[in-house]
Structure 1
């Protein structure tokens, strides 16, 4: 009986959170936390992994950094090489201009995504290291929840 009550509580809690419109996603690179914000309330917090060179703003293709600043979550890919992915609108015009001034490719395809397909069961270990190429990597379970709660066009703020 207790298990049924706990399951019902968790399901209702998840349904209530899913019904709230997420108005901002905030990522803190130094804390490795991703917050889903509805209005002035944080409704969910997740931990994530970054790329192997996480400090600083993304400068160019292959630098394994995650951009910093304000972008949009502009489209999603249910069939990506990782368990689902939501695209971050990097590079913006300023990023392209800065890369052009340095004579480099700014890169792109920066996503929030789950574990590499077939490796979800390793998330307990993979989340302890920075393993992405500059994306924000979460567990598959967390990605499923983010996927359901965040709509295309939602702003994302990525802080150092």
Structure 2
């Protein structure tokens, strides 16, 4: 008998928990304009818009988070010092140019890292053509592990953005990459331009 009561109590508790976590607060209440539901209930936080695209402009050193047609936020970034144009091969220190996706994320030496889906098909064709022309140094591949990342606490207050220093990645402050990672799902489109 005690087991049945305990099971009923657990079931009732779970039902109450589900009701609390899935119910939505009302937008109005008899208490007057501007109140949000019954007393004691906290209104839901406003929904963040879903980031649909990350735009990186190498010449302006900016990264924009975009939702539909709206630019949500713009950040100043550091890139690779390899100059304008697309990445040609591993070690050229160029930040790629093209359309990519967020291909994954992890934490590491640069705090947080959003993997860019470099190389894409266009990058592979370009690399093959350069290799045929003998413009790729011996032993060099196309490159890999391009990402958008923080600095891992190495520098602060954006000092690292005063010059381009990455091996081809895009770098921001640690708190900025944390914010971008929260707002950007895997698969988000990334457009990098000169």
Please say whether Structure 1 and Structure 2 have the same fold, judged by a TM-score greater than 0.5: yes
Name the residue aligned to 1:159. Answer: 193
**2:66 is paired with a residue of what secondary structure?**
strand
Q: 1:119 aligns with which of 154, 169, 189?
A: 154
- Alpha-carbon displacement from aligned partner over 1:48-75 (angstroms, at most 9, x marks no partner): 0011213111000000001111111111
C-alpha distance in structure 2 between counterparts of 1:137 and 1:33, whole Å: 10
Return the structure number with greater relative CO, CA threshold 8 A, min gap 6: 1
C-alpha distance in structure 2 between counterparts of 1:54 and 1:84, whole Å: 25
Name the residue aligned to 1:128. Answer: 162
Name the residue aligned to 1:100. Answer: 128
| Structure 1 segment 14-25 matched on structure 2, within 5 A | 16=46, 19-25=48-54
Is residue 54–residue 134 contact of structure 1 (8 Å, CA) maintained in 2?
no
Structure 1, unmatched stretches of 5+, are 1-14
1:89 maps to 2:117: yes
**1:99 is paired with a residue of what secondary structure?**
helix
Structure 2, unmatched stretches of 5+, are 1-44
Structure 1 residue runs of 4 or more that deviate by more than 2 Å after TM superposition:
100-104
Deviation at 1:101, TM superposition (A): 2.7
TM-score normalised according to structure 2 size: 0.69
RMSD over aligned CA atoms reads: 1.5
TM-score normalised according to structure 1 size: 0.83
Is residue 68–residue 159 contact of structure 1 (8 Å, CA) maintained in 2?
yes
Is residue 158–residue 172 contact of structure 2 (8 Å, CA) maintained in 1?
no
Point out the structure with max Rg over C-alpha: 2
